[in-house]
Amino acid sequence: MEIFKTKSALKAFLKPLKASGKKVALVPTMGALHNGHISLIRLAQENADIIICSIFVNPTQFTDPKDLEKYPRPIEHDLAMLEDAGCHGVFMPGVKEMYPYGADENWYVNLGNAEFLLEGEFRKGHYQGVTQIVKKLFDAVEPDIAMFGQKDFQQVLMIKKMLTQFNLSISIITCPIIREADGLAMSSRNIHLSATDRQHALVLSKSLQFVVDHFDEYSLRELEEKAMSFYKNIDGVELDYLTIANGDTLKPAQSKEENNLVVLVAAKVGSTRLIDNMIIK
């Protein structure tokens, strides 16, 4: 497995492989890898010849400086996991390599109204940061396909909008959410959960599962109310949103007859903010 710190070294590695017709997949991450990330690598292997994983904790998508500061960075462990998984190359640039003129670049990606809903409401400017760095990673790798997790449901929509704006023909593959045995969605931030938080965090997947399991029994708003009531009286858990939304617009669903429905949640558990979602249909 090769490690690249610069775009030019990465491009030099990929050039002959692309020239010989190899299909390249990019798996963008912020490191602190877990089995959710490895599932993205595995799916990439089924769909491409050369797998590049990027590890870059992108400062511009963090709206809370403390969140950025304490984001886990176990790089030796990450590299061992990627080597084991059979990844071909790891791109781990420094901040200067990605933002040579400073991180406050003054450009804008038109992401439509959904940019400002859900995560966009609680993390202002987050999706500008995400889509700008993903555009830079796409420019560096020029992959045929790129893998993203359904766990960041809104992120996938925003990245598809960015592709449209820049007329990029990269195929985006959305990978299912990998969960711990008890239902908690794997996340790099789970490491910050205390033993009590870890138990309390199960409320996210349980409330989503309730909506999926009881979808035929109640109205949309009743389902949301009942799922939100799971969060009452749990010490240290603070719900940001729980909504049944249209999976294309992310606006609250208006009818159970809509085709693409998803239930999404974000909550602070102790000092750790977690997100999760389940596709209803």
Ligand X SMILES: Nc1ncnc2c1ncn2[C@@H]1O[C@H](COP(=O)(O)OP(=O)(O)OP(=O)(O)O)[C@@H](O)[C@H]1O
Instruction: Give the span between the Cα atoms of 265 and 227, in whole angstroms.
Output: 10
Residue 133 touches which of ligand X, ligand BAL, ligand PAF, none (CB < 5 to 8 A by kind)?
A: ligand PAF
What the block records as the tokens of 18 is 């692309």
Give Cβ neighbours of residue 84 (< 8 Å, ≥ 6 apart).
Answer: none
Q: Which of residues 26-55 bind ligand PAF (CB under 6 A)?
A: 28-30
Selected from 52, 85, 175, 263, the binder of ligand X by CB under 6 A is 175
Residue of 194, 205, 211, 221 lying closest to 262 (CA atoms): 211
Q: List, in sequence order, every beta strand (DSSP E) within the chain.
A: 2-4, 24-29, 50-55, 89-91, 145-149, 171-175, 237-246, 261-269, 272-279
Active-site position among 37, 88, 126, 200: 37
Question: How many residues sit in the footprint of ligand X (CB under 6 A)?
Answer: 18
Residue nearest ligand BAL (C-beta atom): 152
* Cβ atoms within 10 Å of 262's Cβ, excluding its own: 22
Which residues of 111-184 form beta strands (DSSP E)?
Answer: 145-149, 171-175
Q: What mask, x for binding ligand BAL by CB under 6 A, covers residues 40 to 79?
A: ---------------------x------------------
Our finding on whether 174 is near ligand BAL (CB under 6 A) is no
**77 labelled catalytic:** no
Decide: helix, strand or coil at residue 52.
Answer: strand
Position 278 contacts ligand X (CB under 6 A):
no
185 binds, among ligand PAF, ligand BAL, ligand X, none (CB under 5 to 8 A by kind): ligand X
Q: Does 152 bind ligand BAL (CB under 6 A)?
A: yes
CB distance 239 to 265 below 8 Å:
yes
| Interacting residues toward ligand PAF by CB under 6 A | 28-30, 58, 61, 130, 133-134, 152, 155
- Residues annotated as part of the active site: 37
| Interacting residues toward ligand BAL by CB under 6 A | 61, 152
